[in-house]
Structure 1
Amino acid sequence: MIVVENRLFVAEEYADQFVERFRNSMGEVESQPGFVKFELLTPARPDTDSYVAQTYWESMADFEAWTDTDAFREAHADRPPREMFTDKNQLEVHEVAFERTGE
């Protein structure tokens, strides 16, 4: 399994709008082969403007196939205003080495 993390730096005055944009623009990712789950992480402390959009996929091939779909292009078509962001986003991909869960 892989985790794709898109770290985005959002200006405080756009925080609510940013979250709503994600809530309403995920397209049809849930129906894509290999999709496991999506999480949008918001800052828990006031000293950061870092948000993290995480998608979990069964494989890198599944994620790459999603990025080549019309649904992906539609989900990313309506670009937000440039001033919504305080810095460039950072995309990282990690493979899950192991997992532990609570009871």
Structure 2
Amino acid sequence: MNFIAMNRFKVGKGNEQAFESVWLNREIHLHKEPGFIEFHLLRGPDRDDHVLYSSHTVWESEANFTAWTKSQSFRDAHKGVGERGSLYLGHPEFEGFTVIQTVAADGTSEAAE
């Protein structure tokens, strides 16, 4: 069963470009991690005091994701995060999901076992 790890970020108004720049200009190593499938950075709704963003990674399993969170690669990817705290309203919110069903563009459906 695939696992999706998501973080939601409330980015303060006026900080959108700086936030996106951090992500778009970072050194990427996720593709080297066992079980990694893909990553997405999403821009969401514009609220009164923030813009909602979400990042999510898709992994072959929750175990692959957990192993990554304990790796040097994870620590390297997250160093300096505290220095960028002024971009956010509060802390990012983590949510993890086990994939139950996948529907492909060709209409085929696959249920997790």
- Measured on the aligned residues, the alpha-carbon RMSD in Å equals 1.5
Larger radius of gyration: 2
Unaligned runs of 5+ residues in structure 2 are 107-113
Match of 1:2 in 2: 3
* Off by >4 Å, runs of 4+ in structure 1: none
SS of 1:88's equivalent? coil
2:86 maps to which residue?
83
Instruction: Decide whether the 8 Å contact of 1:9 with 1:89 is kept in 2.
Output: yes
Q: Give 5+ residue unaligned stretches, structure 1.
A: none
Counterpart of 2:71? 69
TM-score w.r.t. the length of structure 1 is 0.88
Which structure carries more relative contact order (alpha carbon 8 Å, separation 6+)?
Answer: 1
Instruction: Return the offset for 1:27.
Output: 3.3
Q: Give the alignment of 1:1-103 within 5 angstroms.
A: 1-25=2-26, 27-43=28-44, 45-47=45-47, 49-79=51-81, 80-103=83-106
User: How many angstroms apart in 1 are the aligned matches of 2:86 and 2:25?
Assistant: 20
Preserved CA contact (<8 Å) 1:8 1:89? yes
Identity %: 26
More strand as a share of residues? 2
